[in-house]
Amino acid sequence: MLYKKILLAIDLTDESIKVANKAAELSKAMGAELVIIHVIEALNYAYGGDVPIDITDIQNQLKETARERMTVLESQIDVPVKETCVTQGGIESEIHRIADEKDVDVIVVGSHGRHGLALLLGSTANGVLHGAPCDVLAVRVHRSE
């Protein structure tokens, strides 16, 4: 199967470059466009909508910091990036929404391969897999690498 458009969903942790490099390799091999997304989980979403203070400034600062880190990441990979997107909301639902909206063929995410309780509760990679409108590639990352 030929992928024409790849959505790289990153969390902007130190391991993001490993996942980005895999997406870049896939993009090169397939001649595919690369779109990068980072989702900021809305604080009111994370806390069930019950945040007693105005968090607009905090959310705006989180978005600005994310955009800056995305620019750095984009400069570290050796393929052109068609588009970057910093969005806010539920992580899995936003990734699914953007994948559908951009008509991507595959979503690339990092997976820490957690076990035990974290595995039981589910991971972001697992959440992205279920309900994705396309293929999902989970890139295994280890903090010790």
For residue 132, give the CATH number of its domain.
3.40.50.620
Q: What is each CA distance from 127 to 72, 90, 99, 124, 143, in whole angstroms?
A: 27, 11, 14, 5, 21
Residue 45 lies in a domain: yes
Residue 96 lies in a domain: yes
Number of structural domains (the chain) is: 1
* pLDDT 10s digits, 12-53: 988 899 999 999 999 999 999 999 999 998 765 555 556 566
Residue 29 lies in a domain: yes
Residue 47 lies in a domain: yes
Give 30's contacts (C-beta < 8 A, 6+ positions apart): 2, 3, 4, 6
Residue 145 lies in a domain: no
* pLDDT 10s digits, 52-106: 667 778 888 999 999 999 999 999 998 999 999 999 988 899 999 999 999 999 9
Residue 56: give the domain boundaries.
5-140
Residue 104 lies in a domain: yes
